[in-house]
Chains A and B, each alone.
Chain A
């Protein structure tokens, strides 16, 4: 038994089967990420003023990863074009570049960006104590500018044991730059360029703190959404890399039997890959910049 139209197009629809399949799958993926983005919208709108943080992510690294993903989108479409022109060696080269980019993206994300977050600390100050930390928060200045207040102090936690040990009564935090000079108008923007914490240490009494955590999913709905969406996106990148690796190593047999079939497979995998890139194009500004 043969399933028709696996390689050649059905005359009346003009499409081969996998092309229909992948677009339907991508339609469902649009809805999947649509659900997550609608959660982002809902939670961000719902957040109390000051409770949707800005500028906590590493913009240069994020930009780098965006560029990597765009580059891989170019290489995968070139790999497909090479196959269409029946240049197998070139296809292999572009495919290898795509796989490399995919892995690089994941390494940067999981090996550098995420751990950097786990290592960062934030303490939400109780409303009644905000006044006490005015010299770090600069809320009078923000109020005058008509901007939402700062309610959290972030930085590097010096005494990490304070998170566990109830006997320690305060957190010692090497402040992020914005809290060293909170009235600086350059820091007013909804986000600021990521810089490592300064040497200035602030002592924050636990009794003034509403909630203190490292930058984990538990930190806030912002980080919950960030880790969930980038995590799910990362899984998609991983899936794409697996498929490309398979096509890289085992595509030869298909190519010898029917090069068009391999070209179709690369096109389908490429469509998925472009979609993953497309999601990132929205994730990047929504989480890193806005």
Chain B
């Protein structure tokens, strides 16, 4: 660990890592707001699933769009991706490409068997 235990007085340590109160407290309202939005979107998803958008595919698309929006909010605000370093983004972009590749290519393989 960076700080060997019981070597330095506690006050000193706390002082050394002085909190950035101002910065964080500003965000708290935002977190509550995002929480509210997420709850609202959950209700909306349930409601919209009873609405007939014409086909099953359309309903799936609507629900997945809302889910992606919610997931984006969680990732961007709660997981602090809004202020994250490039390196993390790089890892996530590649992961995103691979997971979408997995979805898309298994779908493609299902869609295009030799018997079609």
Contacts and interface: CB of A to CB of B under 8 A. Distances in A.
Let me know if chains A and B touch directly in the complex, using CB atoms closer than 8 Å. Answer: yes
Given A30-B99, A38-B106, A281 B1 contact: no
A81 B3 contact: no
B78 A85 contact: no
Given A84-B24, A86-B19, A260-B17, A73 B102 contact: no
Interface residues of A, number: 62
Interface in B45-60: 45-46, 49-50, 52, 56, 59-60
Interface residues of B, number: 61
Contacts of A144: none
A78 B21 CA distance: 13
Q: Which of B46, B64, B94 has the most chain A CB atoms inside 10 A of its CB?
A: B46
Interface of B: 1-6, 10, 13-14, 17, 19-21, 23-25, 27-28, 31-32, 34-35, 38-39, 42-43, 45-46, 49-50, 52, 56, 59-60, 63-64, 66-67, 70-71, 74-75, 78-80, 85, 87-88, 91-92, 94-96, 98-99, 102-103, 106-107, 110-111
Contacts of B95: 27, 30-31
Given A23-B91, A27-B95, A189-B50, A290 B17 contact: no
A278 B75 contact: yes
Contacts of A189: 50, 52
A67 B19 contact: no
A58 to B, nearest CB: 12
B78 A274 contact: yes
Interface of A: 2-8, 13-15, 19-20, 23-24, 27, 30-31, 34-35, 37-38, 41-42, 45-46, 59, 63, 66-67, 70-71, 73-74, 77-78, 81, 84-86, 189-191, 256-261, 267, 270-271, 274-275, 277-278, 281-282, 284-286, 289-290
